[in-house]
A = this chain, B = another copy of it.
Amino acid sequence: MGGDRGPDVVIPGAELAAIRHPDFRFLLFGDQSRIAPLLERHPRLKEKSEIRHTDVFVAMDAKPSQALRQGRGKSSMWMAIDSVRQGDADVAVSAGNTGALMAMARFILKTLPGIQRPAIAAIWPTLRSESVVLDVGATIGADARQLVEFAVMGEAMARCLFGLEKPTVGLLNIGVEEIKGVEQVKEAARLLRELDLPIRYEGFVEGDDIGQGKVDVVVTEGFAGNIALKAAEGTAKQLASFLKAALNRTLMSRLGAVLAAGAFRALRDRMDPRKHNGGVFLGLNGVVVKSHGGTDALGFATAIDVAYDMVHNDLVNKISTDLAKLHLRLEPQAEVLSDTAV
């Protein structure tokens, strides 16, 4: 069990999820001597859980290659992902080291046929509700075909997560005019228009359209996606800080803040990062959900909620079916590759 606080967050988080999803059962990978006493205090989780002991852990600051070498076979992260491969578990949820988790997930589960690069999809709170944004940092750079694969995978995830029949999809670009933007983004737009996929492609979106909820799925490569996500998170924190300082300035404004406390609670609630927690790894033969490492039990439970939706709505099969259609159409244009042979 990873994350900044390990089982102290994961166990109470799983307890919350166990209550919300009575049909879920849990395999808990980690140090028995730490997990068992915690489970005693979480009886509803205990009756649905099985501990799989290991005392090998991937450090939060380990390099992916190092984690793969040292954690192979015996670390809690490895064992959790491997339980998905073996069919013991339907989905793995971890608050551990993102780079290591992706490297191991890719190594153990392999990418789906025809997929060269997996993606991490984030759930972004918007004015309308929430959107899926991918890739937010699994890999850097993406060619046109990879962007189209991200679109297909993100669209399937949005159907699973939001229950939408036809989520809308946009490509992140700078400037909405056709002339602007990088070549691969323009080429991806052309493919999305011309391939006649069962996707509601809405064209280019800009950075400020994400928070407006202009489309349900925002597609970009991992460097820009990660920076956009963090810039937005930073701005939210900055504004919260400014607001707090402003409300503390005078007695009158402090009094006003007391009266409006309910409103501020509602605002905090709406932007609560714990309620939008859960990065979904897409493009693998199995589902892995990454919880924020610094979250608490409520946040970890949200990541399990996301995992639940992915499993119950059969994410991997939806993606496989859609990718097969995509690759059938791309066939004459691109060679189908996969790393199942790695």
Copies of this polypeptide in the complex = 2
Q: Which of B137, B235, B260, B271 contacts A232 (CB 8 A)?
A: B235
Chain B residue numbers with a CB within 8 Å of A181 are: 140, 223
Give CA–CA (A250, B226) in the complex, Å: 37
With an 8 A cutoff between CB atoms, is A191 at the interface?
no
Tell which of A174, A247, A250, A270 has the most Cβ of chain B within 10 Å. A174
**B247 near A260: Cβ-Cβ < 8 Å:** yes
Residue of B nearest to A66 (CB): B179
With an 8 A cutoff between CB atoms, is A257 at the interface?
yes
**B228 near A207: Cβ-Cβ < 8 Å:** yes
**A210 near B224: Cβ-Cβ < 8 Å:** no
**Interface magnitude class on chain A:** 35 or more
Chain B residue numbers with a CB within 8 Å of A40 are: none
Give 1 or 0 for each of A102-122: 1 = CB within 8 Å of chain B CB: 000000000000000000000
| Shortest distance between the CB of A18 and any CB in chain B (Å) | 32
* A to B CB contacts below 8 Å, 19 in the list: A63-B177, A174-B230, A207-B234, A208-B231, A209-B234, A211-B234, A224-B227, A227-B227, A231-B232, A232-B232, A239-B271, A242-B267, A246-B263, A246-B267, A249-B266, A252-B259, A253-B262, A253-B263, A257-B263
